[in-house]
Structure 1
Amino acid sequence: MPAPDASATARLAVFAPLENLGRAETISRRLADAISLGLLADGEQLPSEPELAAMLGVATVTVREALSELREQGLIVTRRGRGGGSFVRTPEQEQTAGHLRRRLRDLTVADLRDLGDHYSALAAGAALLAADRASPDDLDRLGEAAAAFADAAGIERRHHTDGRFHVEVAAAAQSARLTREEIRMQTEIGPLLWLPGADAHTQQQLDRQHREIVAAIAAEDGERAARLARRHVDEAIERLVELHLGLVAPVDTEQ
């Protein structure tokens, strides 16, 4: 059963034909990213191997290899017999706060700013195109995604709903490539962005920014939508840089 809050455009990006055919690791990574972000729901049955091969434009044996890798990662389970198939298994808190902090500590400020520049440009470009291309259904999805964040309880849920909001902006740009890149960025940097947490003031600020981005897209004001999306990402990166500096400061002091 499809994830109830995933737009058709976002899901099509997951199952679009591969740019480089015959790469099982590309398939497994794309599906793993979609599972991590919640675009494929826990317990959802994947298409059959022949169906996946046709959708992705690869041989069935390549799909079989990719699914085997996902099983080893614990991201899908396969059941035989009537009603069988491959089913999504969303991992429990796979990356603990401690693991993420170690990962953040290993990065440099230059790494974070480089990631931020890439993500900021991506978010701004998606918002700009969405303002020009979004359909009424896309606008409804964006409004629902913004509302889901406002109603989310707990850091993990807010992290997921924030990520889904950005994926929906990219999907509203009507670009499968942009949507896939947004999904990739969410899985690469999204968990880190929520390490600093969010107090009530920051949550209200993020909620307001989401709604302002949606309003600008609905008004077909691409320049404003892009500017707001860029600021939204830039401020998140600055919070992450501050946390990073706090983590490495004790080590620097001892040296």
Structure 2
Amino acid sequence: MHEVVTVIQQESDGTARRAVFSPVDNRARVDAVVRRLGDAIELGLLADGEQLPGESELAARLGVSTVTLREALMALRQQGLVTTRRGRGGGSFVSLPEVPADDRLRARLRGWSTEELRDLGDHWAALSGAAARLAAQRTEPEDLRQLRRTTEELTQARDAAARSRLYGRFHVELAAAAQSARLTREQVALQSEIGALLCLVLADGAYREEVADRHRSVISAVQDGAHETAGTLAERCVRESTARLVAVRLAL
């Protein structure tokens, strides 16, 4: 998790936090804040034990009132994702669960229609495909070390929560390898939106291995400078994951 934040910060001066703390949607703002911060915590974009900005600052950055923010923080505390300490040195702190609550994830998934999931998958595939093509044209072999490390960590991750964070990290790092700050920001925002849901498909150990193999193939194509192949492989990886998520949604 710390490595994800480091990569993002190096790429564009704290892109992860800017994506997490950018203004939320105007509709259902309490729910939007809960979803934004909850998914960012479960994805690992916010570190376990990290102190959130003060209420006034955080409300201003999210574009909501302090009343709305307090309601959202109360909901996050009830979900075990945030703890609050009183007195000197107090505030709201991230509490990263070892495994995201299955009922929360399924409830979150029910909020998506299959059409919306497929549309999100198309957007994700376009981002990752473009990133892979650019990385194949721009990056040097030594710049792929982090992608390889993340892929190997994925093969060793035992729980679905860790696997989903590493899956999302790979695609963020792929955008960083493309040397595109904009693509990196887009990937961070997208992973905050969908990353935690991938726990629902990555609990399958066999699929975890399949994903790792797909990531290795993308890295090989990027290293070889085969930009079209790299882009196609990255797109296929994302589309397969989206299809599995749609299948879970249909089964609910």
Tell me if TM exceeds 0.5: yes
Who is 1:40 aligned against?
Answer: 46
Using a 3 Å threshold, how does the CA distance of structure 1 residues 4 and 78 change in structure 2: closer, same or farther? same
CA contact (8 A) 1:13 1:177 kept: no
Instruction: Quote how far apart the aligned CAs of 1:172 are.
Output: 1.9
In structure 2, what residue type is equivalent to 1:122? L
SS of 2:200's equivalent in the other structure is coil
Who is 1:227 aligned against?
Answer: 232
CA contact (8 A) 2:43 2:196 kept: no
Instruction: Quote how far apart the aligned CAs of 1:123 are.
Output: 1.2
Who is 1:145 aligned against?
Answer: 150
Who is 2:15 aligned against?
Answer: 13
2: distance between equivalents of 1:240 and 1:156? 15
Query: Which range moves more in the overlay, 29-38 or 104-113?
Result: 29-38
Query: Which range moves more in the overlay, 145-154 or 66-75?
Result: 66-75
2: distance between equivalents of 1:136 and 1:68? 47
Instruction: Quote how far apart the aligned CAs of 1:85 are.
Output: 7.4
Query: Which range moves more in the overlay, 9-18 or 74-83?
Result: 74-83
Among 81, 84, 89, which residue is 2:95 paired with? 89
Q: Which runs of 5+ in 1 are unaligned?
A: 249-255
2: distance between equivalents of 1:182 and 1:240? 18
SS of 2:4's equivalent in the other structure is coil
Who is 1:242 aligned against?
Answer: 247
1:179 equivalent to 2:181? Answer: no
- Aligned pairs for 1:1-255 within 5 A: 3-6=1-4, 8-11=6-9, 12-15=14-17, 34-44=40-50, 72=74, 73-74=76-77, 87-91=93-97, 93-96=99-102, 98-135=103-140, 138-245=143-250, 247=251
2: distance between equivalents of 1:187 and 1:19? 12
In structure 1, what residue type is equivalent to 2:169? R
Instruction: Quote how far apart the aligned CAs of 1:233 are.
Output: 0.8
Who is 1:251 aligned against?
Answer: none
Query: Which range moves more in the overlay, 174-183 or 204-213?
Result: 174-183
Instruction: Quote how far apart the aligned CAs of 1:170 are.
Output: 1.7
CA contact (8 A) 2:8 2:15 kept: yes
Instruction: Quote how far apart the aligned CAs of 1:197 are.
Output: 4.4
TM-score of the pair, normalised by structure 2: 0.71
Work out the number of aligned pairs and report it: 239
In structure 2, what residue type is equivalent to 1:214? I
Instruction: Quote how far apart the aligned CAs of 1:46 are.
Output: 6.6
Using a 3 Å threshold, how does the CA distance of structure 1 residues 81 and 169 change in structure 2: closer, same or farther? same
| Per-residue CA distance 1:226-252 (angstroms, 9 max, x = gap) | 11110001111222233333x26xxxx
SS of 1:231's equivalent in the other structure is helix
Query: Which range moves more in the overlay, 142-151 or 26-35?
Result: 26-35
1: distance between equivalents of 2:2 and 2:85? 23
CA contact (8 A) 1:33 1:183 kept: no
Instruction: Quote how far apart the aligned CAs of 1:208 are.
Output: 0.6
Using a 3 Å threshold, how does the CA distance of structure 1 residues 222 and 30 change in structure 2: closer, same or farther? farther
In structure 2, what residue type is equivalent to 1:39? L
Q: Which runs of 5+ in 2 are unaligned?
A: none
Using a 3 Å threshold, how does the CA distance of structure 1 residues 147 and 4 change in structure 2: closer, same or farther? same
| Per-residue CA distance 1:55-87 (angstroms, 9 max, x = gap) | xxx89xx9x999868754345557688877765
Using a 3 Å threshold, how does the CA distance of structure 1 residues 95 and 78 change in structure 2: closer, same or farther? closer
| Aligned-pair identity (%) | 44
Using a 3 Å threshold, how does the CA distance of structure 1 residues 117 and 144 change in structure 2: closer, same or farther? same
Over alpha carbons, which structure has the higher Rg? 1
Using a 3 Å threshold, how does the CA distance of structure 1 residues 121 and 134 change in structure 2: closer, same or farther? same
CA contact (8 A) 1:100 1:191 kept: yes
SS of 2:3's equivalent in the other structure is coil
Instruction: Quote how far apart the aligned CAs of 1:89 are.
Output: 2.9
2: distance between equivalents of 1:136 and 1:179? 19
Instruction: Quote how far apart the aligned CAs of 1:124 are.
Output: 0.8
